[in-house]
């Protein structure tokens, strides 16, 4: 069975870092009992010792000297506010990625020929995989990867980006034909307000079949001015 460690760290007891955990819905605590792990309420500080053998050739023969290196890792308990700027926001990949995040964030369900589907992050290394901790004498203990240490959730990303086409993400999502129609309509209130920023368009760099949809481009041919325009977009995004 899987023991779930919540994102909330309850506190510190001596050298023990106490987490809240729940296997099969039963509340319990998972305690990290190690002199190498400390928690001050703001960050987890971990000391790691890496050992390796160092070899040298001497007159007497091959000399082996064990060496130990000490590393100190600090992990903030609360992930920082994080933004994501996508190049090609209105493309198939961009609109599908943003739609998937909103579907998960809003816990959406939709019907298909195979029944009711629920949004999930299956396939994601950080959101849908586990870490093996060991054997407790009766069962293997696994912990969700995204809950053993603080990891940013995709649901908390702030997203914007550029595209050479001016369709909003609802229209782009329909054009991509990835999501089921029912899911598209549920996503509409969240996707329709998102319109990509104008993008740089160099015909020699982009596939020829994209030329007809290039109606949202930064004017001119001066590459330095284009670069400054993109930098300004990034600065404005970071100030939001």
- pLDDT-derived band at 143 (thresholds 50, 70, 90) equals confident
- 86 against 1, higher pLDDT: 86
State the DSSP code for 218: -
**Domain 82-124+151-239 belongs in CATH node 3.40.50.720:** yes
- pLDDT-derived band at 92 (thresholds 50, 70, 90) equals very high
DSSP assignments along 31-51, one per residue: EEE-TTEEE-SSEEEEEEEEE
The predicted pLDDT at position 29 comes to: 56
The predicted pLDDT at position 13 comes to: 41
b/e sequence 172-182, b meaning 16+ C-beta within 10 Å? bbbebeebeee
Q: Which of 26-30, 80-84, 111-115 has the lowest mean pLDDT?
A: 26-30
The predicted pLDDT at position 176 comes to: 97
- 3 against 95, higher pLDDT: 95
Cα 205 from Cα 88, distance rounded (Å): 14
Tell how strand 83-87 and strand 158-162 pair up.
parallel
Average pLDDT over residues 46-69: 94
Model's pTM, two decimal places?
Answer: 0.78
pLDDT in tens, 148-183: 778 899 999 999 999 999 999 999 999 999 999 999
- pLDDT-derived band at 19 (thresholds 50, 70, 90) equals very low
The predicted pLDDT at position 63 comes to: 94
Helices (H), the chain: 92-105, 125-128, 145-148, 169-176, 181-191, 223-238
Give the residue range(s) of CATH 3.40.50.720 domains in the chain: 82-124+151-239
Two structure tokens written together for 51: 């050992």
pLDDT in tens, 20-30: 444 444 435 56
């Amino acid at each position: 069975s899987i023991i779930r460690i919540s994102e909330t760290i309850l506190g510190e007891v001596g050298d023990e870092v106490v987490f809240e955990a729940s296997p099969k819905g039963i509340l319990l605590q998972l305690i990290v009992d190690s002199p190498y792990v400390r928690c001050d309420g703001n960050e987890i500080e971990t000391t790691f010792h890496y050992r390796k053998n160092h070899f040298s050739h001497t007159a007497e023969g091959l000399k082996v000297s064990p060496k130990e290196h000490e590393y100190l890792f600090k992990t903030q308990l609360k992930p920082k506010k994080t933004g994501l700027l996508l190049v090609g926001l209105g493309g198939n990949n961009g609109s599908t990625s943003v739609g998937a995040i909103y579907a998960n964030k809003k816990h959406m369900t939709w019907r298909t020929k195979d029944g009711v589907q629920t949004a999930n992050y299956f396939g994601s290394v950080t959101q849908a995989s586990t870490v093996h901790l060991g054997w407790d004498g009766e069962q293997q203990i696994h912990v969700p990867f995204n809950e053993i240490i603080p990891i940013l959730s995709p649901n908390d990303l702030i997203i914007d980006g550029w595209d050479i086409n001016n369709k909003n993400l609802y229209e782009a999502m329909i054009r991509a034909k990835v999501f089921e129609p029912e899911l598209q309509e549920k996503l509409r209130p969240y996707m329709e307000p998102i319109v990509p920023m104008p993008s740089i368009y160099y015909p020699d760099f982009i596939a020829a079949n994209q030329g007809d949809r290039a109606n949202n481009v930064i004017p001119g041919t001066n590459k330095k001015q284009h670069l400054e325009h993109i930098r300004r977009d990034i600065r404005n995004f970071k100030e939001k």
